[in-house]
């Protein structure tokens, strides 16, 4: 179960890309998508998976620093 898990951003996104990122959880890489269109993500950044709805995991960015709280959509791969 991915709920309340910590993920690491392994492939960050920049403004000129489609908004997709990749995150690593338990040696598995998942496709993720920023909920914010122009969001930028840093490689090796920690995110926390908060909830899962309709096979999409929602993560919180900057879990160790509340000033960076944002939602991130993560497609759950079975």
**pLDDT for the residue numbered 66:** 46
**pLDDT for the residue numbered 68:** 43
Q: How far apart are CA 74 and CA 21, in angstroms?
A: 9
Q: How far apart are CA 41 and CA 28, in angstroms?
A: 19
Neighbours of 4 (CB within 10 A): 9
**Residue ranges in the chain whose pLDDT is less than 70:** 1, 3, 13-20, 33-40, 50-78
**pLDDT for the residue numbered 44:** 87
DSSP state of 19: S
Whole-structure pTM value: 0.60
**pLDDT for the residue numbered 25:** 83
**pLDDT for the residue numbered 67:** 42
For strand 28-34 and strand 46-53, is the pairing parallel, antiparallel, or unpaired?
unpaired
């Amino acid at each position: 179960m991915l709920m309340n898990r910590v993920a690491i951003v392994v492939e960050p996104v920049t403004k000129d890309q489609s908004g997709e990122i990749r995150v690593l959880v338990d040696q598995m890489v998942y496709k993720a998508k920023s909920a914010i269109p122009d969001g930028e993500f840093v490689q090796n950044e920690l995110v926390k998976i908060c909830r899962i709805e309709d096979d999409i995991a929602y993560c919180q960015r900057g879990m160790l620093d509340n000033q960076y709280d944002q939602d991130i959509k993560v497609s759950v791969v079975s």
